[in-house]
């Protein structure tokens, strides 16, 4: 069962508040359940070209069982808190009604990257790992992440993986130590690896960007939220898989793309997210420039585009001319891995 702890790299909340926020699941979800959910391995086209498919996955649905929370459902299907709540407005995250049909937002427009490695899109709170398979085919895995809260923003820019550590000790930076002393009266300067209140979880990928890392978490409900001091937290099962996939020296980049543009089977999609750090201007102007750059301006219905930009649902929205509905979703159950 879940352990209470702190959000840190990380942010801090009191134990009482966490207990109120995250009631125990009556459905009996365990760490083993989540560990058994294998992330989808996507095959990408061998060569980039202007109309190569850049939308992956498919929307699905899940029928709520007694005691489920949206957070359990999200984690099992490789989704973050913000993604599943955004796709299911009005559904109680902690007490969804038994039998309710929940949308699984497991479809994404790829970020605009052109090399192998890691891409973390900050507004989306999602990591993409572009890599080559055993036969040299282009492959992709993707994971939700938790990022820095507004006063501790996760930065943009390139990096490389400089070190990998199992059961990392958390050596607490002075700035975070002062906050911990003020809020909790906790003067400890380090927390050993494996300790229940170590917010780094079981694995850490240190970055060449000073003071930042990708790591696990002792508080999974921070994945898909802005809760940290800037580091990137993943579910324990996600970081365990990424730890194996990613060698030291792997390049990566923190992106800031609140609006993404993609194509699949000749149809144009727009995926819009809130501008969480308020770094961008008018999204319509930004999207118009992207469409012009790719030569797709005449392919879209601007009424559909403006609707997608207004809603900022985080879902890929079909905006091609002459189309007024999405492809049908597929229904899943707890026993179906993502």
Active site (annotated) includes residue 129? no
Q: Please state, in angstroms and rounded to a whole number, the distance separating the CA atoms of residues 207 and 234.
A: 15
- Count of beta carbons in the 10 Å neighbourhood of residue 156: 13
Structure tokens at 8: 């840190």
Structure tokens at 181: 């002393």
Q: Among residues 131, 215, 229, 273, which one is catalytic?
A: 215
Q: Please state, in angstroms and rounded to a whole number, the distance separating the CA atoms of residues 257 and 266.
A: 22
Beta bridge partners of 333: none
The burial class, CB within 10 Å (0-12 / 13-18 / 19+), for 239 is buried
Structure tokens at 141: 């895995």
Beta bridge partners of 43: 139
Is the distance from CB of 120 to CB of 127 less than 8 angstroms?
Answer: yes
Going by C-alpha positions, the residue among 274, 202, 261, 198 that lies closest to residue 236 is 202
Active site (annotated) includes residue 215? yes
Going by C-alpha positions, the residue among 218, 215, 225, 216 that lies closest to residue 84 is 225
Q: Among residues 77, 129, 131, 231, which one is catalytic?
A: 231
- Active-site residues: which are they? 215, 231
């Amino acid at each position: 069962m879940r352990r209470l702890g702190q959000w840190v790299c990380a942010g801090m909340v009191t134990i009482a508040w966490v207990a109120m926020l995250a009631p125990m699941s009556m459905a009996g979800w365990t760490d083993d359940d989540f560990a058994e959910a294998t992330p989808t391995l996507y095959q990408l086209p061998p060569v980039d070209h202007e109309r190569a498919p850049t939308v992956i996955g498919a929307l699905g649905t899940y029928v709520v069982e007694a005691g489920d929370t949206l957070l359990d459902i999200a984690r099992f299907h490789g989704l973050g808190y913000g993604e599943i709540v955004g796709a299911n407005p009005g559904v109680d995250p902690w007490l969804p009604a038994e039998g309710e049909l929940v949308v699984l937002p497991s479809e994404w427009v790829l970020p605009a990257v052109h090399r192998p490695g890691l891409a973390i899109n900050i507004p989306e709170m999602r990591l993409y790992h572009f890599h080559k398979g055993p036969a040299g085919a282009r492959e992709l895995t993707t994971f939700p992440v938790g990022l820095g809260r507004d006063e501790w923003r996760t930065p943009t820019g390139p990096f490389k993986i400089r070190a990998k550590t199992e059961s990392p000790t958390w050596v607490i930076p002075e700035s975070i130590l002062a906050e911990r002393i003020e809020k909790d009266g906790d003067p400890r300067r380090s927390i050993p690896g494996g300790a229940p209140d170590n917010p780094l979880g079981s694995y850490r990928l240190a970055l060449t960007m000073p003071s930042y890392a990708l790591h696990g978490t002792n508080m999974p409900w921070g994945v898909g939220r802005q809760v940290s001091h800037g580091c990137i937290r993943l579910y324990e099962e996600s970081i365990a898989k990424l730890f194996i996939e990613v060698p030291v020296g792997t390049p990566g980049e923190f992106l800031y793309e609140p609006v993404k543009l993609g194509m699949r089977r000749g149809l144009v999609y727009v995926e819009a997210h809130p501008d969480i750090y308020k770094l961008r201007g008018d999204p319509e102007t930004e999207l118009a420039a992207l469409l012009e750059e790719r030569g797709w301006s005449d392919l879209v219905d601007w009424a559909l585009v403006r609707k997608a930009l207004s809603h900022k649902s985080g879902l890929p929205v079909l905006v091609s001319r002459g189309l007024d509905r999405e492809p049908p979703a597929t229904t899943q159950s707890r026993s179906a891995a993502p």
